[in-house]
Amino acid sequence: MKYYLIAGEKSGEQHAAALMQALQKQDSQAQFRFWGGEAMQNVGGEMVRHYKDMAFMGFGEVVRNLGKILGFLKECKQDIVKYQPDVVILIDYAGFNMRIAKFAKKQGLKVFYYISPKIWAWNQDRAKTIKKNVDKMFVIMPFEKDFYQKYDYEVDFVGNPVYTAVKSFQAGEDIRKKYLLPDKPIIAILPGSRKQELAACFETLLSVTHFFPDYQFVVGGVSELPRELYAKAENHEVRIVFDETYNLLSIAKAAVLVSGTVSLEAALFKVPQVVCYRTKSLLTYTLGKMLIKVKYASLVNLILDKPAIPELIQNQFTSANLVHTLQEVLTDRRLQIVSDYRTLDEKLRTQDVAATTAQLMWKYLQ
């Protein structure tokens, strides 16, 4: 069969690549065409465009690049019509993919969605649009199945790919030896995988390092971003390791991080954490505050439906607050956080998510 996949960011591209590998085991004749990145390229098929071309974050940046985004949409629609796939598989990336879902459905094509857009966070009525345009939805958060049931839309909970990735992880060389790090317990700084996140949050994350002389701070960097974005770490004498997130989390005593998938990864590694987030644009934050319907920023707290880990968002995200909160996480709150992580683990425990999803997709396509 011919599969057309669209992943618009790094994490989605990784999940898409794993899904493609699993689909190959179900369908020996599988042909792939996709919007994605290197991980998908390594599986095989033809890449139309790299996800880096579409990495726009925040209301202001989207508005400034609206013409470019509309051009990508037009290009994608034309390419789908030309390719005539047996199924269009969309991975997260709501703003772009929900428009493609509507278009593909009108073309009479089958539409699958793997990793639901976070419509439960804001503008929840978009569930009606998804129900209309998406043949099958494969969700990775346990609460999403109940959310869609409110709209009389049956979806498949396939487990969480982050859980699969963490549980199958095997540590490589100890990064202490690999990077000649001092013999001190490590606090990981994970400043995000987008330029905008580093620009808005990195300096504040670094500013607390000298308050904890008994620990060493290590930044988990992303090699795809320009190295100059990490230059501030040198001013604080903080070491940076690139593309070593899991190795770093496997030995970290705590973490300070920008809200995102990495929060869930840290929790599954049983690393106590402080989740931080700030937008440089006051307009983006104000609009988001008006629209967002969920109580928490972190996936950990959303899944557990409680403030299991501390969150410092926008104006609360200051150096003083971060120092105080990190001290609590390292001492008084540590045992309770680890206990809550065990509950999280039970909620997410599943088999191989990509394999489960591919099996269901293949069954539905028959």
Determine the pLDDT at residue 241.
96
Whether the pLDDT of residue 281 is over 80: the answer is no
**CA 321 to each of CA 190, 216, 338: distance values in angstroms, whole numbers, following the listed order:** 17, 19, 22
Determine the pLDDT at residue 67.
61
Place of tokens 């690139």: 242
In whole angstroms, how large is the CA radius of gyration of the chain? Answer: 21
More confident residue, 168 or 308: 308
**Angle, nearest 10°, between helix axes 126-133 and 142-149?**
90
Determine the pLDDT at residue 124.
83
Determine the pLDDT at residue 206.
97
Determine the pLDDT at residue 57.
56
Q: Which domains does the chain have, with CATH numbers?
A: 2-159+352-365 (3.40.50.2000), 175-348 (3.40.50.2000)
Whether the pLDDT of residue 88 is over 70: the answer is yes
Determine the pLDDT at residue 301.
95
Average pLDDT over every residue of 73-83 = 96
Q: Which long-range contacts (CB under 8 A, 24 or more apart) does 96-104 make?
A: 96/6, 96/8, 96/54, 96/69, 96/72, 97/6, 97/8, 98/126, 98/129, 98/130, 98/133, 99/73, 100/6, 100/73, 100/76, 101/130, 101/133, 101/134, 102/129, 102/133, 103/77, 104/80, 104/133
pLDDT band at 290 (very low <50, low <70, confident <90, very high): very low
Backbone angles phi, psi at 138, to 5 degrees: -115, 110
Whether the pLDDT of residue 55 is over 80: the answer is no
Q: Which of 38-52, 87-101, 270-284 is predicted with the least confidence, judged by mean pLDDT?
A: 270-284
Whether the pLDDT of residue 188 is over 70: the answer is yes
More confident residue, 327 or 162: 327
> What does the CA dihedral 205, 208, 213, 216 come to, rounded to 10 degrees?
0
Rounded to whole angstroms, the Cα distance separating 171 from 175 reads 10
Determine the pLDDT at residue 320.
97
> Six-digit token pair at 153?
């839309």
Q: Which of 1-15, 69-83, 93-107, 118-132 is predicted with the least confidence, judged by mean pLDDT?
A: 118-132
Residue 107, classed as helix, strand or coil, is coil
